[in-house]
């Protein structure tokens, strides 16, 4: 029987290829639609004021269109900074004027000062996570570094965790998982934002890919 690790490696190749084939026009339209879904969600939930985000690579869903409206609404955003220690990251505040730099693996991150304190994971209300694939039971397939899995195991309070993806990143079958893998509370794509119910199945998904 193939191990979960080997299954994940094969799936990563498949979903990276599918995601990479999207045209720039399709991506741009999806980014605007996703921004609209997130704006509607946070407008209805004013108590969510501290949100972890990510700064997208060229193939990931770009949150920039939504970030502008979030700042305008007074929501505090926090972006990841990868440590030189393997598997370790922190989240630091980011605003419209925050200086950015290239960090570990060439990822864009806030130019946090060495003495700048990161936010405690227990203080976050919501976390918007990138992914390679998701299933309809809350499973998430990431890049394999385990950064998010480790980070959200810290603290006494886990924020609401929402995956951000294109609809074609939805797996047809349940993704292979290991005990330490981070599960999603919900997912947003160009088609809408849905949450997983107590049975870990997507609740009232829109028609077509979620």
The residue ranges of DSSP E strands in 111-196, in sequence order, are 126-129, 133-134, 140-141, 160-164, 186-189, 192-196
pLDDT tens digit string along 2-24? 677 788 899 999 999 999 999 99
**Best CA proximity match to 70, nearest among 90, 51, 97:** 51
- pLDDT over 90, % of the chain: 71
Q: State if pTM tops 0.85.
A: yes
**Residue 46 confidence (pLDDT):** 93
**Best CA proximity match to 175, nearest among 146, 116, 131, 135:** 135
Enumerate the domain spans of the chain: 4-203
Percent of the chain that is helix, strand, coil (3-state, to 5): 30, 20, 50
pLDDT tens digit string along 126-136? 999 999 999 99
Query: How many alpha carbons lie under 13 Å from residue 36 in its C-beta half-sphere?
Result: 9
Q: What homologous superfamily does CATH list for 4-203? A: NagB/RpiA/CoA transferase-like (3.40.50.10420)
Q: Looking at the chain, how many residues does it have?
A: 210
Strand order in the sheet with 192-196: 89-94, 76-82, 50-52, 126-129, 160-164, 186-189, 192-196, 202-203
Rounded average pLDDT over 33-48: 96
pLDDT tens digit string along 144-184? 888 999 999 877 789 999 999 999 999 999 998 888 889 99
Report the phi/psi class of residue 185: left, alpha or beta, with left for phi > 0 and alpha for psi in -120 to 50: alpha
201 pLDDT band (50/70/90 cuts)? very low
Distance CA 208, CA 134 (A): 15
pLDDT tens digit string along 71-127? 999 999 999 999 877 778 999 999 999 999 999 888 999 998 878 899 999 999 999
pLDDT tens digit string along 53-62? 999 999 999 9
């Amino acid at each position: 029987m193939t191990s979960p690790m080997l299954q994940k490696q094969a799936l990563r190749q498949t979903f990276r290829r599918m995601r990479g084939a999207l045209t720039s026009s399709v991506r741009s339209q999806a980014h605007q639609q996703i921004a609209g879904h997130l704006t509607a969600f946070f407008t209805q939930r004013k108590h969510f004021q501290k949100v972890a985000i990510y700064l997208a690579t060229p193939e990931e869903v770009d949150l920039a269109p939504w970030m502008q409206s979030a700042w305008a609404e007074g929501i505090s955003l926090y972006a990841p900074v990868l440590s030189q220690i393997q598997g370790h990251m922190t989240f630091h505040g980011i605003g419209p004027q925050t200086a950015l730099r290239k960090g570990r693996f060439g990822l864009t991150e806030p130019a946090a000062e060495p003495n700048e304190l990161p936010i405690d994971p227990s203080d976050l209300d919501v976390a918007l996570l990138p992914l390679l694939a998701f299933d309809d039971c809350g499973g998430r397939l990431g890049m394999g570094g385990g950064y998010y899995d480790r980070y959200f195991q810290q603290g006494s309070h886990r924020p609401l965790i929402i995956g951000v993806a294109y609809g074609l990143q939805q797996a047809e079958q349940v993704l292979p998982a290991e005990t330490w893998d981070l599960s999603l509370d919900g997912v947003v794509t160009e088609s809408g934002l849905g949450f997983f119910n107590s049975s870990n199945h997507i609740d009232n998904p829109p028609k077509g890919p979620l």
